[in-house]
Homo-oligomer: A and B are copies of this chain.
Amino acid sequence: MTEAAGYNVAILGATGAVGTRLIEQLSQSTIPVKSLKLLASARSAGQTRTFREQAIVIEEAQPASFEGIDLVLASAGGSVSAALAPEAVKRGAVVVDNSSFWRMHDDVPLVVPEVNEQALYEHHGIIANPNCSTIQMVVALEPVRQAYGLNQIIVSTYQAASGAGQTAWNELNAEATQHLAGETMTADILPVKGAQHHYPLAFNLLPQIDVFEEEDYTHEEWKMIRETKKIMLGDKFSKDIKVTGTAVRVPIGIGHGESIYFEVSDAEKANVAGIRQVLSTADGVVLQDDPANQLYPQPLNAEGKRETFVGRIRRDVENDGSFHMWVVADNLLKGAAWNTVQIAERLVALDLVHVPANVTIPGPKAE
């Protein structure tokens, strides 16, 4: 395989909110695509999607689908990735997976290119794309960590409906229409598909994202804790940076907001002007922090953008070395499809689109 000849690429889960954007982001990427295969469930097989002005018929995803494929971009949910990613790797494909299934596996790098691109060198065939709310937080905080060190992160999220998939997003819009017409809202999906109770999100707030786990934290909250440590420190159990938070679903379509409180290691050196300076030139970050002109990140302005937007940077006036910031990104792009394609671009640039010899192909071991 040479770069000039291009790569045989497959997108697994091509019809969802993220899948649609994977096709779009891949078409706008620098990756030389020799062929593209679109894979989905049997239900979607036979539909067509357009890639670089070419109509492609969606095929049902099977282990044999990956014969001859070099690179798989996957966003098909945990159980599908658990079953199919090893099948793709066995057939010589490198998989960049957007589900949560592989993220904590010891042999699977969890990568945000602005933060830990070097982890790609350790891949055994599968690279995991982190959780949407984790990605934008580490993009915003890694430059601060590089400059001043980081002791602690306390985050409260404001997460859009599309983070729970296209059907949840549709449900929000249907509920809003019902509410504005004075009708009773009906909820069948949020907060968690298949849960015991469903609650309307429109004109409401749901402090539950994913299921409840140990210590009464939700799975989403644990993801933010463990993934942040793995990405920044290489170890999901590291105590070098303390991380905690609360994840809340809010009635917006696209764009997660995060109110982040953080404590740096070098309290004497760090100040608001310095943090702004560091972030103004940081990779993947757009600083939007001009209170006098009412400039700060807003989800509506982040929609369709690849960057992470940061503003409202302030010191805690009663705690030296502690600060606030407000971070927004398009959860379907930097939080999912763009970060996945960006990882693939880096794999291409570093000539890592091949399954290394003599590595264990990860087996399906749950997070």
Contact present for B215 and A312 (CB under 8 Å): no
CB neighbours of A253 from chain B (8 A): 203
Contact present for A317 and B252 (CB under 8 Å): no
Interface presence of A314 (CB below 8 A)? yes
Contact present for B294 and A207 (CB under 8 Å): no
Contact present for A297 and B207 (CB under 8 Å): yes
Contact present for A259 and B252 (CB under 8 Å): no
A residues 210-232 near B (Cβ < 8 Å) are 212, 215-217
Chain B nearest CB from A17 CB (Å) reads: 15
CB neighbours of A296 from chain B (8 A): 207-208
A residues 315-346 near B (Cβ < 8 Å) are 315-319, 322, 324, 326, 328
Contact of A291 among B152, B216, B259, B311 (CB under 8 A): B216
CB neighbours of A191 from chain B (8 A): 294
Q: Provided the pairs A216-B291, A244-B317, A257-B248 are in contact, do residues A205 and B299 lie with their beta carbons within 8 angstroms? A: yes
CA A197 to CA B246, docked complex, whole Å: 31
Most buried by B among A203, A255, A291, A293: A203
Interface presence of A156 (CB below 8 A)? yes
Interface presence of A55 (CB below 8 A)? no
A-B contact pairs, 29 of them (CB 8 A): A177-B180, A180-B180, A191-B294, A195-B294, A197-B293, A199-B294, A199-B298, A203-B253, A203-B300, A204-B252, A204-B255, A205-B250, A205-B252, A205-B255, A207-B298, A212-B292, A212-B294, A215-B314, A216-B291, A217-B314, A239-B318, A242-B316, A245-B324, A246-B259, A246-B312, A246-B324, A248-B257, A248-B326, A251-B251
